[in-house]
Structure 1
Amino acid sequence: MRAVLALIAGGPGRVSISAAAIVAIVAIVFVLAGHGWDLLAAAWHASLFASGWVSVWAVLAIAGNAAGVAAGEPTAPAPKGGDHG
């Protein structure tokens, strides 16, 4: 879809504007066709699903942080004493 929008609109800024325009046009068409409540119900269910998904990942992130799980390479401890020469 991004390639089609890039072909139609041009650069990345124009692609995002074109995508927003397409979403707005589809929403307007749904409302004018009398399916506004269906669109609202779909948006409500999508937001419930998204908030559940975000909540699960937030709990996992907090649990991982509390357990000391680090993303990336562990750092080596600083050398103690030794030759400073």
Structure 2
Amino acid sequence: MHDIGLNAGQLELSVRQMDDVIQLASAWGKRLLEDAEGTGMEAIGSKLEAALASLSDAREALAGYPDAIESDHNAVGTVRLV
């Protein structure tokens, strides 16, 4: 833990959990979309498609999070001469 009070390991576990939740929501959304399309429910189908696109964007945004955490973890607390 750094002097800023943030444990990098705990942070990584939390971000991984968030990524898992997004992945689970995406899987459920795809199943719901298939059901909606199968019954001709176009209005909800378009909303589900938009939600799935947003979930995909969220997962892409988190790509490489372990490296980002490591990079930030190594940078915190460094001394810079002015």
Shorter-chain TM range is 0.3 to 0.5
Task: Report which structure shows greater RCO (CA 8 Å, sep ≥6).
Answer: 2
TM (normalized to structure 2)? 0.39
